[in-house]
Structure 1
Amino acid sequence: MGEVIWLTVRLAGVTTLLLLLLSTPLAWWLARSSSRWTAVVGAVVGLPLVLPPTVLGFYLLLALGPDSLFMAPLAPFGVRTLAFTFTGLVIGSLIYSLPFAVQPLRNAFVAIGDEPLESAVTLGARPLTIFTHVALPLAAPGYVTAAILVFAHTIGEFGVVLMIGGAIPGQTAVVSTEIFRLVESLAWDEAHRLAALLVAFGFAVILSLLLLERRFGAQAGGR
């Protein structure tokens, strides 16, 4: 059980870190751009919210499989497939949890408004300096929310990780798929312990978000 929990936490941690990095420029563009393509890109980003996990997992399985065009550039390096590997799980988790990172960051960047950024421009600050020294600190609540949501969402993944990971012990078996395996094996007590752990974790996540929302709301009201 310890190995399964560690692999799950590792997957969630790697996914969270990578998504915060990868989602930042995308969320900034969605928040600040007036391009007509923002609606289209936003819709694509939000697809995992409405697609059944098995649908997303199916197409990821095809994309990461040995016959995929996406895998062709890796063939000379001896990599024929990323399906049923930890790397494949990370890729699937990045796509599946993408909206849970982009949306809070986009909202945080929108909430900043134009005034702080325009003030920095009048003081002669460069665009990169404005982003790192003005936008990012003001968007900190969005980063906290995004990190919590992505980590929790990755912990609770089932359909996608089962499709592209196959629940291989020590390699791709995470808590959600382990519960499924235990139930199939009629190991009710072990399944109950893991399921109760996820319930407690989910409660802690929701409570944390509510407390953070209250705290950040109080700070905004005090300014």
Structure 2
Amino acid sequence: MVEVAWLTIKLAGITTILLLILATPLAWWLARGRSRWKAPVGALVALPIVLPPTVLGFYLLIALGPHSPLMLLLHPFGIRTLAFTFEGLVIGSLIYSLPFAVQPLRNAFIAVGDEPLEAAATLGASSWSTFRRVALPLALPGYAVAAILAFAHTVGEFGVVMMLGGGIPGETQVLSIEIYRLVEALEWDKAHQLSAALLAFAFVVMLTLLLMERRVTERDGRG
């Protein structure tokens, strides 16, 4: 059980860190860009919210399987497949949890507004300096929300993990898969304990988000 919990935390932690890095430029572009492609790209990013996890997991299984064009390109490097591997789970989690990182960051960048950015530009700051010294600090609450949501969503994912990982002990068997295995084995007491722990975790996550939202609202009201 400890190994399963550690693997889940490891997967969620790596996914969250990578998502915050990858989602930042995408969220900034969706918030501040003026391209006609914003709507289609935004819809594509948000697709995992409504797409059944098994559907996404199925296509990821094909894409990361040994006979896919992508994997054929990696064969010379000794990589034949990423399906049923921890690395494959990271890729799947990145895609499935992407909207839960992008949307809070996008909303945070929109909330920054034009005035602080225009003021920095007036003072001669470069685009990168304006982003790093003005937009990024003002968007930190959005980063906190994105990190919490991405981590929690990855911890609770089942469909993509099952399709892409298969529940291999020590490799892809995370907590959600362990609960399924315990139920199949009729080990109800252990399944109850693990399910109750995840239920408590989900409650703490939602309570934290609501308290953060109330704090931001009160701060804005005082301002």
By the TM > 0.5 criterion, same fold?
A: yes
How far the C-alpha of 1:73 sits from its partner, in A, is: 2.0
Alignment-derived partner of residue 180 in structure 1: 180
Give the 3-state SS of the residue equivalent to 1:70 in structure 2. Answer: helix
**Alignment-mate amino acid for residue 128 of structure 1:** W
Q: Is residue 17 from structure 1 mapped to residue 17 from structure 2 by the alignment?
A: yes
Percent identity, please: 70
**Superposition map of 1:128-139 within 5 A:** 128-139=128-139
Structure 1: 5+ residue runs without aligned partners? none
For 1:217 and 1:72, the matched residues in 2 are separated by 51
Aligned partners of 1:214, 1:140: CA distance in 2, in Å?
16
2:201 and 2:145 mapped to 1: Cα distance? 16
Q: What TM-score does the superposition give when structure 2 sets the normalisation length?
A: 0.99
RMSD, matched Cα: 0.6
SS state at 1:97 partner: helix
Q: What is aligned with 1:52?
A: 52
Structure 1 runs (4+) greater than 4 angstroms displaced: none
Structure 2 equivalent of residue 162 of structure 1: 162
Q: Equivalences for 1:1-40 in 2 at 5 Å? A: 1-40=1-40
Deviations 1:56-113 (A, max 9, x none): 0000000000001111221011110000000000000000000000000000000111
Pairing of 1:85-96 with structure 2 (within 5 A): 85-96=85-96
Corresponding residue for residue 200 of structure 1: 200
1:210 maps onto 2:210 in alignment: yes
**1:140-155 matches, cutoff 5 A:** 140-155=140-155
Deviations 1:20-49, CA, capped at 9 Å, x for gaps = 000000000000011110000000001101
Question: Equivalent residue for 1:61?
Answer: 61
Extract unaligned runs of 5+ from structure 2: none
Aligned to 1:79: 79
User: 2:123 aligns to what?
Assistant: 123
How far off is 1:215 after superposition?
1.2
Q: Report the Cα offset of residue 221 of structure 1.
A: 2.1
The count of residues paired between Structure 1 and Structure 2 equals 223
- 2:108 — aligned with what? 108
Distance in 1, matches of 2:198 and 2:162, equals 17
TM-score by length of 1: 0.99
Q: Deviations over 1:172-217 (max 9, x none)?
A: 0000000000000000111111100100000000000011111122
Structure 1 CA distance for aligned equivalents of residues 146 and 220 of structure 2: 19
Whole-Å Cα distance in 2 between the matches of residues 34 and 66 of structure 1? 39
